[in-house]
Amino acid sequence: MNPNTTATSTESLFSYMDMGTGFLIGLAIGYTIKKSLKLMLLLIGLGMIGIFVLESNGYMTINEAHVTQTISYVSTTFQDFVLFLKNRLELFQVSKGLSAAAGFIVGIKIG
C-alpha cells in the first residue's frame, strides 16, 4: 500500500469537511439575517403605527430632520455590516467561499 494514497484520501476528506463548514456558516448567517430583518421590520412597522396614532391625537410631533438623520445612520451601519460579512466571506478559500455563498442563499430562502 502506498503511503501517499492515504494522505491524499485524508486531505480530500478534510476538504469536504471544510466545504460543509462553509455551507453551514453561510446557512446560519442567511437564516439569521432573514429572521432578524423580518422581526426588525415588524417592530419598525408597529412603532410607526404607534407614532402615527400619537401624532394624529396631538400627543407628539415628529421632527423630520431627526428622522432623516436616524435613517441615514441606520443605512450606513447596515452597509458597514454588509461589507464586514463580504470581507469575512472573502477570507474563505474558493471551495469554502462558494459553499458559504450557497449556504447563505439557502438560508435566505428557508428563513
Range of 87's domain? 12-110
pLDDT for 11 equals 53
Residues 46 and 50: their CA atoms lie apart, in Å, by 6
In a domain, 47, yes or no: yes
In a domain, 7, yes or no: no
| In a domain? residue 48 | yes
Looking at the domain assignment, is residue 6 inside a domain?
A: no
Phi-psi region of 63 (alpha: psi -120 to 50; beta: other; left: phi over 0): beta
Q: Give the CA-trace dihedral at 54, 57, 63, 67, to 10 degrees.
A: 40
Whole-model pTM over 0.75: no
- Name residue, grid cell 466571506: 89
- Residue 22 is predicted with a pLDDT of 80
- How many folded domains does the chain comprise? 1
Nearest to 26 by CA among 105, 103, 86, 109: 103
Question: Residue ranges of the chain with pLDDT lower than 70?
Answer: 1-19, 92-96
Q: What per-residue confidence (pLDDT) applies to 3? A: 52
Say what the pLDDT of residue 17 is: 54
In a domain, 67, yes or no: yes
End-to-end alpha carbon distance in the chain: 48
